[in-house]
Amino acid sequence: MDIMKSVLKKHVSVEDIKRLSKDLKHILYKYDVNHKLTQDDKLVAWNALFFHPRRDEKIGVGIHEIKVGHHSSHENARCFVVQRVDGTIEDFSYHKCIHHALELIVPLEASVYESRWLNVKV
């Protein structure tokens, strides 16, 4: 993980992560629920998923499509939904992706983000 952190710090800035967060929020509300993303938007979501703390579990056997959906535990909350190549689906929160990216690059910013977006008191 230390090698990953050092590589990320060299190639990904806090501003890159903030821009990614803004783009993801825009994408999440630009589509109706159950609509698959365009190739460009899918690439943005895929880049975010790279930072998810449980990305291997979320990706599973491989991604076929990414859609906008509702969170499995929070009925009205929007999230991204991965449709895997085997037909199974898994939702993911872009906030968890952004939070983990910030943890790797600038932990102090991650604490602020966590208290604002992940319902955690700091």
Whole-angstrom distance between the N-terminal and C-terminal Cα of the chain? Answer: 25
CA distances from 54 to 57, 85, 93, 96, 98 (A): 5, 18, 11, 9, 13
Which comes out higher in pLDDT, residue 10 or 90? 90
Model confidence over 70-110: pLDDT tens digits? 877 766 789 999 999 999 999 998 989 988 888 888 777 76
Which comes out higher in pLDDT, residue 115 or 14? 14
Model confidence over 21-67: pLDDT tens digits? 999 999 999 999 999 999 999 999 999 999 999 999 999 999 999 99
Domain 2-117 belongs to what topology?
Nuclear Transport Factor 2; Chain: A, (3.10.450)
Domain range annotation of the chain: 2-117
Nearest-5° Cα angle at 101, 100 to 102: 90
- Rounded to 5 degrees, φ, ψ at 63 are -95, 130
pTM, 2 dp: 0.82
Which comes out higher in pLDDT, residue 90 or 111? 90
